[in-house]
Amino acid sequence: MLEIKNLHAKVAEEDTEILKGLDLTVSAGEVHAIMGPNGSGKSTLSNVLAGKEDYEVTDGEVLYKGEDLLELEPDERAAAGVFMAFQYPVEIPGVATMTFLKAALNAQRKARDEDELSTPEFMRLVKEASTKLNVSQEMLRRPLNVGFSGGEKKRNEIMQMALLQPSLCILDETDSGLDIDALRIVADGVNQLRGGDRGIVVITHYQRLLDYIVPDVVHVMSRGRIVRSGGKELALELEKSGYAAYSEEDKAA
Amino acid sequence: MLTTVERVQTAAEKALSDYFAGTDIADSARGAEVRRAAMVRFQEQGLPHRRIEEWKYTDLRTAMREAPALPETGDALAAGDLSAYAAGYRAVFVNGRLDTAASELPEAAGVTVTSLAEALEADAGLAERLDGAMEGADSPVRDLNTAFADQGMVIAIADGATLDRPLQIIHRFVGEAPASVFLRHALRVGDNATATVAEVFEGPDGLAYHVNTAARIDVGTQANVTYLRLQADGTQAFNLATLEADIGAGAELTLIAASFGAALSRVQASVKFSGEHAILKHGGLKMLRGKQHADLTMFVDHAVPNCVSEELEKTVLDDAARGVFQGKIVVRPDAQKTDGRMMTQALLLSEGAEADNKPELEIYADDVQCGHGATSGQIDETLLFYLRSRGIPESQARSLLIQAFAGEVVDEIEDEALRGIVAGHAARWLGVELDV
């Protein structure tokens, strides 16, 4: 599904490398968690995967379903089935949520040579996805994310994910700013998308989210690389001992 | 002091003087004296130029090299297809002349729509309202209108009456010969009355015709009026307009000015509050490309206490287009509890585009809330990236964001059909299909 090999990346026009030889393989149907302290490069990894232009890949490769992901424009990545749930979803005044959802869904379908959805069919899919994520009709009537609370924005992200049915989901700090109820709703939404051929990467600082979205594999990221991988118990271990050991270990190495 | 140096007339100024000299004004509805005096004022000042502060960004003397002749007086020209307009009432002016066959004027109780000549005869007060310029509206362009405009629509809504559907005043230019068209309109809405009036301008691309209109709007006590101006003239046209509005106590006036067309256009608007607890909402939208130039200059006079004015001006500029917004709010010494807000935002889509924003506040009262803001910028890359990350291709994402930017003004148009027409122009400008 996703193969990252020796990935080196930095912020464009800056010298300091943030990702320094990252390797990661996610197979179809698996849920991977990437944990790490602030500054370990988690955000850079998600931005590079989404195709943000402010980042520059200096070495290595990213294969998605065997194809070079880095060659694709952000919209092409989305149409190919890559979805990024952002840490800070933006507010877009003047763009109605429904207009946006329809444009996104139909643009992806068009890119895949599929027919555009009829309005009733589209409405049915939105209703299905929004009910699951507790996104109200009132929220759907507002401009995209405008006036939404932090929790509402995150629910809206996962609702989009449920609607667009991507093959690879990347959740960037989706738990940040969520209270326990919102966390549960979001986790339920993600869990419903688990399985089949879908790969899910959960990037998080805290173990809390992983109580609800139980990962198959946990990776520890430090200083721009994956420094340790293990089962779900690794997350619990980190919760107890913190990240200090990895920073030290990495420093010594 | 008298000037000792004779001002040199430009070709356009001389042509306008000649046209006036060749016009028979003896039986004029406006009165020969009024027209002659206006022409003299114009000749003294000439076309306004950049050394006059209010015309700093729109140097009409330089831009207006020629003044096309007055329209031929002969058989009336056919209006042609009007299906793009909302069903309902319309007064259709073809090259400055009312096309009665194409028009559909309201005949409801309390609603009177007449020609300028008829109205001047019936209403002795009208001449007075039309003759003197309101502060902030006076200009040589208005003088030219007074000198030449002998026709127009006068709409009167009686106290308590409602114009049940919007009235569209359609200014259409047809044919292959350019001409200078002058029209004077007036709208008087009585106490507790309601009306929506839309002025629409259009004509062929590539033809340098000139349109100069002036409109006087009187909004009665507790009345509710929407006045829309949709300027979609041809690419080489000149569109010069003067708008004067007086708002009575407790009334609400919504002014919308959308400009898509013309090589050069300017709306000079002056709005005065003459009764307390009244509201003015202005929404301006300009979408320009090529070397188009559009100017909206507005003067809001808070002459009495407790009134609210809100102006939102949005400008989208591509290529080497230039958008000008000059907004001035004056709060007179007695106008306590004034709430005056002005926001102007420009979206620049190219390096060569230029937005000139000049908001001004002049406040003489001490218990008021007034503010203004001006921004100019490019499309927000963060928003663009978000849309693209959901699969929307870049060009479509850009269009969505521009539509959203313009939409804030378009959405202020309450009437659905009129809103659809303006939204349609915005979509056409972007080259996209409207997703209704």
Q: Which of these, A186, A242, A212, lies nearest to A33 by C-alpha position?
A: A212
pLDDT attached to residue A252: 44
Question: Quick check: B427 and B403 in contact, CB under 8 A?
Answer: yes
**Sheet strands (E) in B260-396:** 264-273, 279-288, 293-302, 308-317, 322-331, 339-348, 354-363, 369-377
pLDDT attached to residue A182: 87
Q: List chain A residues with CB under 8 Å of B388.
A: 51, 73-75, 78
**B274 in contact with chain A, both atoms CB, cutoff 8 A:** no
Residues of A engaging B, defined by a Cβ cutoff of 8 Å:
50-53, 73-75, 77-79, 84, 86, 89-90, 92-95, 99-100, 102-105, 107-108, 111, 143, 160, 164
CATH at residue A146: 3.40.50.300
Q: Which residue on chain A is closest to B411 by alpha carbon?
A: A94
pLDDT attached to residue A21: 95
pLDDT tier at B434, thresholds 50, 70, 90: low
A40: CB partners within 8 A, 6+ apart: A221, A222, A223, A224, A243
Q: List chain A residues with CB under 8 Å of B408.
A: 93-94
Give me the mean pLDDT over the B170-194 stretch. 97
pLDDT attached to residue A222: 92
pLDDT attached to residue B436: 44
Which domain, by its residues, includes A95? 2-252
Give me the mean pLDDT over the B2-27 stretch. 86
pLDDT attached to residue A176: 84
Chains A–B, number of C-beta pairs less than 8 Å apart = 81
pLDDT attached to residue A238: 85
Does B5 have pLDDT greater than 70? no
CA distances B398 to A76, A204, B14, B394, B428, Å, are 16, 32, 46, 6, 14
Asked if B390 and A160 come within 8 Å (Cβ–Cβ), the reply is yes
B399: CB partners within 8 A, 6+ apart: B430, B431, B432
Out of A113-117, A246-250, B255-259, B304-308, least confident range: A246-250
Percentage of chain B modeled with pLDDT above 90:
89
pLDDT attached to residue B73: 78
Q: How distant is the Cα of B394 from the closest Cα of chain A, in angstroms?
A: 8
pLDDT attached to residue B1: 53
Looking at residue A43, the DSSP 8-state letter turns out to be: H
Does B383 have pLDDT greater than 90? yes
Kindly report, residue by residue over B31-61, the tens digit of the pLDDT.
899 999 999 999 999 999 999 999 999 999 9
Does B6 have pLDDT greater than 80? no
**Separation of alpha carbons A236 and A242, rounded Å:** 10
Does B311 have pLDDT greater than 90? yes
Q: DSSP letters of B94-153?
A: ETTEE-TTT-B----TTEEEEEHHHHHHH-HHHHHHHHSPPTTT--HHHHHHHHH----E
pLDDT attached to residue A205: 86
Q: Which residue on chain B is closest to A91 by alpha carbon?
A: B383
ipTM attached to this prediction: 0.94
**B391 in contact with chain A, both atoms CB, cutoff 8 A:** yes
Buried b / exposed e over B207-241, threshold 16 CB at 10 Å, is bbbbbbbbbbbbbbbbbbbbbbbbbbbbbbbbbbb
User: Which tokens sit at A44?
Assistant: 């850079």
> Is the sign of the CA dihedral A110, A112, A118, A122 positive or negative?
negative
Kindly report, residue by residue over B144-161, the tens digit of the pLDDT.
999 999 999 999 999 999
**B426 in contact with chain A, both atoms CB, cutoff 8 A:** no
pLDDT attached to residue B190: 98
The total number of structural domains that make up chain A: 1
Q: Which residue on chain A is closest to B406 by alpha carbon?
A: A94
**B51 in contact with chain A, both atoms CB, cutoff 8 A:** no
Residue of A76, A90, A119, A157 to mutate for B, most B C-beta atoms under 10 A = A90
Asked if A53 and B401 come within 8 Å (Cβ–Cβ), the reply is no
Average pLDDT, rounded, for chain B: 94
Does B63 have pLDDT greater than 60? yes
Question: Quick check: A14 and A36 in contact, CB under 8 A?
Answer: no
Mean pLDDT of successive 10-residue stretches along chain A, which has 253 residues: 96 93 95 92 94 94 96 96 94 92 95 93 94 90 91 92 95 88 90 92 90 94 93 88 69 45
**Separation of alpha carbons B421 and B428, rounded Å:** 10
pLDDT attached to residue B361: 95
User: Which tokens sit at A17?
Assistant: 């490398």
Percentage of chain A modeled with pLDDT above 70:
97
Question: Quick check: B329 and B335 in contact, CB under 8 A?
Answer: no
Residue of A95, A98, A160, A164 to mutate for B, most B C-beta atoms under 10 A = A95
pLDDT tier at B340, thresholds 50, 70, 90: very high
Closest partner residue to B396 among A78, A93, A103, by Cβ?
A103
Closest partner residue to B391 among A53, A99, A108, by Cβ?
A108
Q: How distant is the Cα of A168 from the closest Cα of chain B, in angstroms?
A: 13
**Separation of alpha carbons B304 and A70, rounded Å:** 63
Give me the mean pLDDT over the B368-373 stretch. 95
Asked if A107 and B391 come within 8 Å (Cβ–Cβ), the reply is yes
